[in-house]
Structure formats: C-alpha cells, structure tokens
Amino acid sequence: MTMAPPPRLRLDVERDPGLVYLDNAGRTPLPRCVLKAGERALKRKVRPWEGMGNDADVDDVRARYARIIGHDNGADIALCPSTSYSMSLAAHNLVRTGVIARGTEVLVLQNQMASNVMPWQSACRRAGARLRVVPSPSRTWTEAILRDIAQDDARAAPRIAVLALPPLHWTDGALVDLEAIGAAKGGRVLVVDATQAAGAMPLSARRARVDVMAASVHKWLLSPYGMSLVYIHPRFHATWEPLEFHERRRRGSDSATWDEVLKRS
C-alpha cells in the first residue's frame, strides 16, 4: 500500500518554550480556532431565547467527516459519545440481526485498542460466538489478516462474520491495508476504528468497502473530548436500532404531537 504524505500544517496552538510535546497521537492540543468556535457555541446558552443552534450545524460536521473518510453523503454519519459506544452500537445490532451468531467469529488484532475489542467480547459472549485474535505477525498485519480470511474461505462453512480492524495499529503505527482487506472480505462485515488515522492519513470507506467507520474526535480531528463520528453503511439503516430511545433518536418525535403507537411498515 502506497500513501501520499499529508500536507504540512502549522496549527495555532498553545506553546510552551520549555518543552517539546510528542503525544499528539494520544491527544492533540486544541487549536485556538477550535477554542473560539467552542466559546461561541457556549455563549448561545447565555441567550437561550435566540436558540441553541440548528440541524445545519450538525449536518456540517457530518459532511466534513464524510469527506475526511472519502464518503460522499453526510446523511450516513451519526454522532455518538465515544468510539466504544459506536462499536457497541454496531455489535448490538449485528447480534440482534443474526450476523453474529453461535459458531461465528469476530476477527480482531492482538493488542488492538480496547474500544474495538471489548464490545465484540461482549457480543460474542451473548451470541455464543468466538473472538478470533490475529497474533502479532512476523511480516505485516495485512498479510496475516488476508491469510486468516483465505483459510476461513477454504472451510465448507466459513465462520468469520465480522472483521473489526484499525487502519493502523495504535502501538507502533504499523499500517493495515483496508482496501486489500475490503477486496477480500466477501460477505463479512468490516468495522473500522479510525481514531488513530482520521485526519492524519487518507481514508476511503468506499474503496475499502467499509460497513462501519468510527473515529473519536479528540486526536487528529482536533476537537474536544466526548464525541465520536461514525459512518454506517446505508444497507443497515432500515434494520438497525439505537442503543437509547428518546425524542432526539426518532424522526418526527420533536413535533408538538407524535404518535405513541409505533406503526409497522
């Protein structure tokens, strides 16, 4: 996999002449322009009669994340409180719809970030499935993953139902070629935690045939803590359900009156 280097950026951030900050991959300093935008948003609460923003603000964020991950429709992006929440949402629905079932497997990498492991551990326990861990390879993660997929394809009844992967391993930056894996995945669901990559390297959910791609915003998306943006493939929109149920989760329920009895289509 070849990758063009990202453009060099010099961000207007807080600086301390007495130190060199090296933990940008863990948490980036908040740029001053983002701080000012946050202050403007908070000031809306000072005059609540003027409104607290509208859907245009949210739609702008969704559209921007869609562009970052190489997708063309912000309507396929959801806002969640964390990437572990986004993964829990995916895991819940893949169990609920029978994709993860007894005898199936969810593939993860050894020492993978917990946000893209723990939800699958829980899902496998609930469904009677197995967490399949790819051990640290002697060559590349991509080769090891493709080998596991090929071995699974050789079975009379393949077991791997979900590939839960990152674009790169958080411990050392070793790359995972999502496009090669997407080309080989067959009918498996590809779920990606892109927190370590979104905003720092080129991504294409479309070319990699990704089904779910989530990223926490406090790293290379240069935003505050407490939010994850997640792409969910349109084929899941009609059958998946939220983890929480309230008026902001159901279309039409923010109107003056709404129907308490759900109608089945």
77-241 CATH: 3.40.640.10
Q: What is the CA radius of gyration of the chain?
A: 20
**What token pair was written down for 5?**
């280097």
- Domain spans in the chain, listed from the N-terminal domain onward: 77-241
Triad 180, 186, 189: Cα angle to 5°: 90
List pLDDT tens digits, range 54-100: 788 899 999 999 999 999 999 999 999 999 999 999 999 999 999 99
pTM recorded for the entire structure:
0.89
List pLDDT tens digits, range 171-197: 999 999 999 999 999 999 999 999 999
Percentage of the residues of the chain whose pLDDT score is greater than 70: 89
Q: Write out the DSSP string of 121-154.
A: HHHHHHHT-EEEEEPPPSS-HHHHHHHHHHHHHT
**Residue 250 reports pLDDT greater than 80:** no
Mean pLDDT, residues 205-228 taken together: 96
**Residue 208 reports pLDDT greater than 90:** yes
